[in-house]
Structure 1
Amino acid sequence: MISKLPDFPAIKKLAEALWQQDVKKHGAAIIIGAGFSRCSSKHVDGARKLPLWKDFAKKLACELDDANKDLAFSDPLRLAEEYRAYFGQTALNDLIRAEIHDEAWQPGAMHHELLSLPWSEVMTTNWDTLLERAAKNVHSQIYGVVSKQSDLSSIRSPRIVKLHGSIGVTEQFIVAQEDYRKYPENFAAFVNFARQVFIENELCLLGFSGDDPNFLQWAGWVRDNLANHSRRIYLVGALNLSASKRKLLESINIAPVDLWDAVKDIDDHDLWQQQAIELFLKELLNLKPKPKHEWKPTQLVRQQINHEDHSRQFNEPVYAASLLESQIEILRRDREAYPGWFVCPPELQWRIQSQLSDPRPNIDNITPLEQSSKEKLLYELAWQHTVTFNL
Structure 2
Amino acid sequence: MSGGESSSHGWPDDVVEQALRRNLVVLVGSGLSASCERDGVRPPTWKALLAGLVDHLGITERKDEISELLTANRLLDAAELVKLEAKRVSREQDFFSYIRTAVDGRAGSNFDGSEWHDALVKLEPDLIVTTNYDKIIERSTGHGYSTHTYESERVAGDVRRRIPTLLKIHGSVDAIEDTILTRTDFTRLRLHGVHALSVLQALFLTRTVLLLGYSLGDPDIQLLLENVLGGRNESPAHYMLTQDSLPDYERDVLRYSHGVTTITYPSGEHERGLASLRVLADLVQSAKPA
- TM-score, normalised with respect to structure 2: 0.81
CA offset digits 1:321-362 (Å, max 9, x no partner): xxxxxxxxxxxxxxxxxxxxxxxxxxxxxxxxxxxxxxxxxx
Secondary structure at the aligned position of 1:107 is classed as coil
Distance 1:226 1:183, change over 3 A: farther
1:81 is displaced (CA, Å) by 0.8
Letter in 1 for 2:207: N
- Residue pairs, 1:338-377, within 5 angstroms: none
Q: Provide the identity percentage.
A: 20
Larger relative helix fraction: 1
- Tell me, yes or no, if structure 1 residue 284 matches structure 2 residue 290: no
Question: Distance between the aligned counterparts of 1:241 and 1:86, measured in 2?
Answer: 34
Higher-Rg member (1/2): 1
1:36 aligns with 2:32: yes
**Whole-angstrom CA distance in 1 between matches of 2:287 and 2:83:** 54
Question: Cα–Cα, structure 1 residues 226 and 158, in superposed 2: closer, same or farther, change >3 Å?
Answer: farther
CA apart distance, 1:151: 4.8
What are the residue-to-residue correspondences of 1:239-278 with 2, within 5 Å? 239-252=244-257, 253-260=259-266, 264=267, 269=268, 272-273=269-270, 275-278=271-274
Q: Which of 60, 63, 66 matches 2:64?
A: 66
2:194 aligned with 1:199, yes or no? no
CA deviations on 1:82-127 (whole Å, 9 max, x unpaired) are: 1222223534322312322434312233313202213131011111
Describe the shift of the 1:42–1:199 C-alpha distance in structure 2 as closer, same or farther (beyond 3 A): same
> Which structure has more RCO (C-alpha within 8 Å, separation ≥ 6)?
2
Deviations 1:222-270 (A, max 9, x none): 35x677432222121214123333223222122111112xxx4xxxx5x
Kindly indicate whether the alpha-carbon contact (under 8 Å) linking 2:197 and 2:228 is maintained by their aligned counterparts in 1: no
Number of residue-to-residue matches in the alignment = 268
**Which consecutive unaligned segments of at least 5 residues does structure 2 have?**
none
Deviations 1:19-54 (A, max 9, x none): 127xxxxx2101111100111x231x1x11110112
Q: Which runs of 4+ in 1 moved over 6 A?
A: none
The residue type equivalent to 1:71 in the other structure is L
Shift of residue 66, structure 1, vs aligned partner = 2.4
TM-score normalised to structure 1 length? 0.61
Matching residue within 82, 97, 120 for 1:94: 97
**In 1: Cα distance, 2:114 partner to 2:261 partner:** 27
Distance 1:146 1:51 in 2: 23
Match among 47, 70, 77 for residue 54 of structure 1: 47
- The residue type paired with residue 56 of structure 1 is L
Cα distance change, pair 290–133 in 1 and its aligned pair in 2 (3 A): closer
Counterpart residue type for residue 148 of structure 2: V
Unaligned runs of 5+ in 1: 22-26, 295-391
Equivalent pair of 1:29/1:201 in contact (CA under 8 Å): yes
Write the distance in 2 (CA, Å) between the matches of 1:283 and 1:149.
Answer: 34
